[in-house]
Chain A
Amino acid sequence: MNLIVNGNETNVDGELTVNELLTEQNVKMPEMVSVELNGQILRRSEFESTKLNEGDAVEFLYFMGGGHASERATD
């Protein structure tokens, strides 16, 4: 499945939930991250139940004071 993660085209294997994508992408401090899916912020309680679809745009956001940019959230 093709996704746009933090602005970059990304290919992932099989079906994924948002939680699974956080692990797959090795997102740092996952307990602190906010996730924007197609322009809408997801509630944390939705991370586990939200399945990603082909072409979805996902942004990982932090606002901890060091900045608030997206592609920066992953390694």
Chain B
Amino acid sequence: MTAVKNKDFLKLEGKRFFSLDKLMTVLCYAALITVVILPVVMIFYYAFWDGSKIDIDMFVKVLTQQGNLKAIKNTVIIAFFTTAIATVVGVFFAWLLGRSDIPLKGLMKFLFSIPFMIPPFLAAMSWDMMFSGRGGYVNRLLMSVFHLSSAPFNINSVAGIIVIEVVYYFPFVYMQVVSALERMDPTLEESARIAGAGQLYVIRKITIPLTIPAISSGMLLILITSLSNYGIPAMLGFSQNIFTLPTMIVELMNRAGGSFEGIREAAAMSIILVVVVAIALWGQRKLTSRGSYDIIKGKSMRPMLIKLRGAKYPLLVFSLIFLLVVVVAPIVMILLISFVKAYGLPFESQNMTLANYRRIFVGNIMVSDSVKNSLFLAFSAGLICLVLGTMLAYVVNKIKPKGGTVLEMMAVLPYSLPGTVMAIGCMLAWSGAFFGITLYNTIWIILVAYIARYLSYVLKSSSAALQQVHYSLEEAARSCGASHMETLKDVTLPLIKPAMISGFFLVFLPCMRELTTSILLYGPNSRTLGVAIYQLRINGYITQAAALSVVTITLIIICNNLVKFVIGDRRRK
């Protein structure tokens, strides 16, 4: 018996240092501190440390500059109106599709899913081609048809930015509300109708209040996204010197050209942006935390559909026109421009050519590099996030170490931090500040930033799957003679494989179309697709930018369908 004891004693001693649980926990901490915390710390360091002491003069300096104040004002105005208008539009369509008897729902639902596939800056670019002051195709058409002396629309304005953001972000609210409506107990509405309440009254007093949690979480998404968005204001605002906080930060960073003062200015602005986002989050929570809503049942039910009667076809026509303009028009526009000989020429057969595609693919090293870089980055970021995120999910959900919530908070922090801020943090952290590691101007710094930004996507998808894997399934393997490692390999990972695959694509797809972080981090040899399109556009190669956009969208659609196929295939099995 003593022999047994000694042997086990040794085993236990060994476990103290090499337990798989501990190893994974430590790895997660190390990874998150490196990828998330160091960049955040560096921003604070630069904003508050003037080289010898703590100092807040930089904030005073930043906040007294007219341009910066204007940018803050623009950011807030754009975010406020975008959120308000997009919410109304989103709720309207959610109700129309979720609760009314409008026809062609399938078609409309499909159209709603398209904006998610097109990068926002591409959509903005397309709208710019249609409605920019003098040159926009649609503007010119209207001017010639109605004999106007000036352009009827000017998209290069704060209002223009708001309109495009609304068009692009209302599906956030729409999606949330539709799924809430689908889970809502229809008897609540029915009983009100039976009690004699009119249709509008029921909508106002019952349906809307009951969907408030969904509306509010959709609003929150819009608010954060709008505050931190770079692509749309950059595409539409730069030409008229209209800046928002994110575009201003990038501008400051570019102007700084590596000077300490300039970087500190950008860091201070980053902190101001974070503060604005935090205030928005807080205010939004304050607004919606009143009252509790206990009406959503888990089960999906077939709700009673409200008859639109005479309003049916007018509403249908209106909706279809809206969706066509908002969703289809930008794609068609980009497609047409990509085939035209020169920007501004009418779309007539003698003006059409394939030359733009030839130019970007043959002999344009920047473009071919960007395709390669984006594929490499999206693939590696997807893979690393897959491994790290799943490990993190396992630690948080199964091992539950003491600081588990800290781990989780670290992982989701970049989700609410604007991409611009994250990028600046990475730049400051990996230009030799730690261990002499300099990744600046290489593709690796973009990879690190992507990992930080998208890690939480895999964490969420793997966590949800892991919560379905009951403890006893793993314990059964242990009692059958499998070690902890073998249990992971034989039971846990196979069970969450579908979620891991979809987690990979949840990272892969946004990386393919990323602009916000890469525009700050790219170097001469590490341009991404987003950067390449942006630069082609800014430098006036508009038709080539359009061609590359078409290529990008095609790539994204192919990958997206691949995901659906892979996941759907697994489900069927």
* Chain B associates with chain A: no
A→B interface (CB under 8 Å): none
